[in-house]
Amino acid sequence: MIEESRLHVMIDEETINKRIEELGQEISRDYAGKDLVLVCILRGSVMFMSELAKRITVPLSMEFMWVSSYGNALTSSGEIRTLLDLNADITGKDVLIVEDIIDTGRTLFYLKKELKDRGPNSVSIVTLLDKPQMRVAPVVVEYTGFVIEDKFVVGYGLDYQQQYRNLPYVGYVE
């Protein structure tokens, strides 16, 4: 558990909702007439994808993957493991990977290549949070909610040892 005095609001709920609405409009415009598949990266991206999907106005389907590089640590181990794979064939579809946070980019670099090898028309990324200053893998992020500084964050799906995902805001640990 994190001491309450160490947890501070970084991005409040109202600001998050406004930005997700804007992302939904942008994605709807860009994917009009396409066969869109949202791929939620479990577990942290569930809240973000749920809210984003409600704001996308074009038809879409949803798939889920569980890819881990953290375990219970504060920093990425660098070892990427696929714990749950897609159920559907994405050949000929336009895939939008929905991620909660990108820092080193290793996971998304691996995942984007993995999905491209399955024959979709396109593979793009939308993330709620981005720490580009931490990037070590060359990942292009097409849609970004917020660029944040390098702090350990929780809330809005992000966790510490499976706790704090249910906070309606993004907080940082000091």
Compute φ and ψ for 67, nearest 5 degrees. Answer: -125, 130
Cα(77)–Cα(41) distance, integer angstroms: 17
Pair 144, 26: CB distance under 8 Å = no
How far separated are the first and last CA of the chain, in Å rounded? 13
User: What burial class does residue 107 get, using C-beta atoms within 10 Å of its C-beta: 0-12 exposed, 13-18 middle, 19+ buried?
Assistant: buried
The residue annotated as part of the active site, out of 103, 117, 130, 150, is 103
CA distances from 83 to 41, 45, 104 (A): 11, 15, 20
User: How does DSSP classify residue 17?
Assistant: H
Query: d(Cα 5, Cα 21) in Å, to the nearest integer?
Result: 31
* Residue 150 is among the residues annotated as catalytic for this protein: no
Q: Which residues are catalytic?
A: 103
